Amino acid sequence: MRRTLAAALVALSTGLAVLPATATSAATTDPGAPVVDTVTPVDDGTVTAATARRTLAQASDVLAGGGAEAVTDAPDTTLLMRDLFEAVPALGGTERERAEALLARPTNGSRDPYGDGYTVGSRKKCSSHFCLHYVTSTADAPPSKAWVGRNLKVLDKVWRTEVGKMGFRPPVKDGNHGGNGKFDVYLKELGAKRLYGYCAPEYRKKGTKWVASGYCVLDNDFAQAQYGAPPAKSLKVTAAHEFFHAVQFAYDYHEDPWLLESTATWMEERVADDINDNRQYLSASQVADPSSSLDVFQPSGFAQYGNWTFWEYLSRRFGNGIVKSVWNKAGAFKGAPNMYSAKALKKAVGGKGGGFASVFAAYAASNTVPARYYPEGSAWPKSPMSKKIRLTKGDRKGSASVRINHLASRSITVKPGSDLRGKKWRLRVVVNAPNRSSSPAVHVLVRNKKGAWSRKTIALSAKGHGKKVLSFNGAKVAGVTITLANASTRYRCSRGTNLSCRGKAVDQKKSFKVKVKAVKRKR
């Protein structure tokens, strides 16, 4: 989870995702463009020695409480811990010892000299599913026993929601590490390091490649002076987000970064709906920037957090189970198909809502009027229009031409002039989109002057051609929004990018052309 501290420093996220340090965000130039790692172009689970050393250096700096520049430019903390877990086999000698020390639990004390080891003996308090570890002295001590109890109570609620009610897989058992088979969480002073918490994979489950047990570390008090919010609120959203990363370890800790972070941020809304901490990422989401690809991961940015809105739309429309379905298809546990994120998403949607392309276009269209289509959308930004067209008797034609990257969209709005009054006026919309193999889709919203909205789709031929005639009575119609979507999930995988399957998207910068004309029906 990535959040902003009161001191205006960007807190490191607890995201479970990975990109090498050499990768930098492409969002400022081309939001949908991939970030390429030139060192490890093949994603087969093997980490080169050079990448492993970079990861070790970053993790050492972050867990030591590096400077603001190091913190804001580095990948997320859980991301680094996952990276480090994968990098250990590529390291040797003292470097391997340092990596293992960083991955060690706080209770390992002197064996965790580079990380978050306790310097005094610890205690623990357990519930049905958790054991909470803490100390009673030093800067790591929580403020009171009551706060320890509150942490455990919040964690129990998180388990009941995410595992009990929603049916996600529980974390993998850790073989009685930490004293028993319950999931271990450690309280530690993290605010000085600008961290809220993190999780780390620990032991790979036998017979699997990317499934592991783990543990989590949370700040010991979430002091408002450090975090800028009431401690109870910071605890609640952090626990919801972090525990879901531990759940993700039971599916596939190697999964694509955007899926890991966007679903963990979405989970905050399921557990802590009243807090709305995740609204701070909306400016980086597809709601605010529909031209940015859904699956882009920004190592120093926020798109992967902001795009929790996609899961909000999907779960509101099809139920929370749709997210679990995606993870079941993306999972690497025994018997799971281990699909990459975008493929798992498309497969999970299947024929629902007319298929994935239609669903994605409807989502993109909804983002142009979030107050209408999301329960809390009145507090969200609106997707901007790529072009605004006004038609009158004297100027009846208009057009727009845009290029759209994969899993992204653009919208145009068409409004009737006051002189286009009468029920005979129509709007003719003609679309020339890419061919069907690249998954284009068009969704139309019509708003009348009483504030009601209606939805339309424009069917496209195999070559991407389509047209629609709509009512365009200026006395009744306030405007028509035409959303053009590139819903492609085709990639050449394992190219070391920051997209799905670390791949290069096949269908980038696809051309969409729209012509609109106000026509008057003869009869």
CA distance 248 to 259: 10
Report helix, strand or coil for 86. helix
Per the CB < 8 A criterion, the answer to whether 412 and 481 are in contact is yes
Q: What tens digit of pLDDT does each residue of 157-169 get? A: 999 999 999 999 9
Q: Which CATH architecture has domain 363-520?
A: Sandwich (2.60)
Query: What pLDDT digit, counting tens, does each position of 91-100 carry?
Result: 999 999 999 9
The pLDDT value given to residue 80: 86
Mean pLDDT for 195-211 is: 95
pLDDT tens, residue by residue, 360-371: 999 999 999 999
Phi-psi region of 166 (alpha: psi -120 to 50; beta: other; left: phi over 0): alpha
Q: How far apart are CA 172 and CA 204, in angstroms?
A: 9
**Mean model confidence pLDDT for the chain:** 89
Span 215-266, pLDDT tens digits:
999 999 999 999 999 999 999 999 999 999 999 999 999 999 999 999 999 9
pLDDT band at 498 (very low <50, low <70, confident <90, very high): very high
The predicted pLDDT at position 111 comes to 61
Q: What is the pLDDT of residue 63?
A: 83
Q: What percent of the chain has pLDDT over 90?
A: 82
Q: Where are the domains of the chain?
A: 49-275, 363-520
- What is the predicted pLDDT for the residue at 46? 79
45 vs 399 pLDDT, higher one: 399
Bridge partners (DSSP) of residue 425 are 520
- CA dist 468 and 320 (Å) reads 34
Report how far residue 54's alpha carbon sits from residue 350's, in angstroms, rounded to the nearest whole number.
40
For β-strands 510-520 and 387-391, DSSP reports them as unpaired
| Res. 69: pLDDT tops 50 | no
Q: How far apart are CA 511 and CA 264, in angstroms?
A: 33
Closest by Cα among 18, 23, 88 to 53: 88
pLDDT of residue 303: 96
188: alpha, beta or left? (left if phi > 0; alpha if psi -120 to 50)? beta
Q: Is the pLDDT of residue 8 over 50?
A: no
Give the CA radius of gyration of the chain.
Answer: 25
Closest alpha carbon to 85 in 56, 42, 113 = 56
Q: Positive or negative, the Cα torsion across 66, 86, 196, 12? A: positive
Task: Determine the Cα–Cα distance for residues 411 and 485; give it in Å rounded to an integer.
Answer: 9
pLDDT band for 66, please (50, 70, 90 cuts): low
Q: What is the pTM of this model?
A: 0.90
Higher local confidence (pLDDT), 395 or 63: 395
How many Å apart are CA 217 and CA 195, to the nearest integer? 10
Instruction: Work out the angle between the directed axes of helices 321-330 and 257-271 (0-180°, nearest 10).
Output: 150
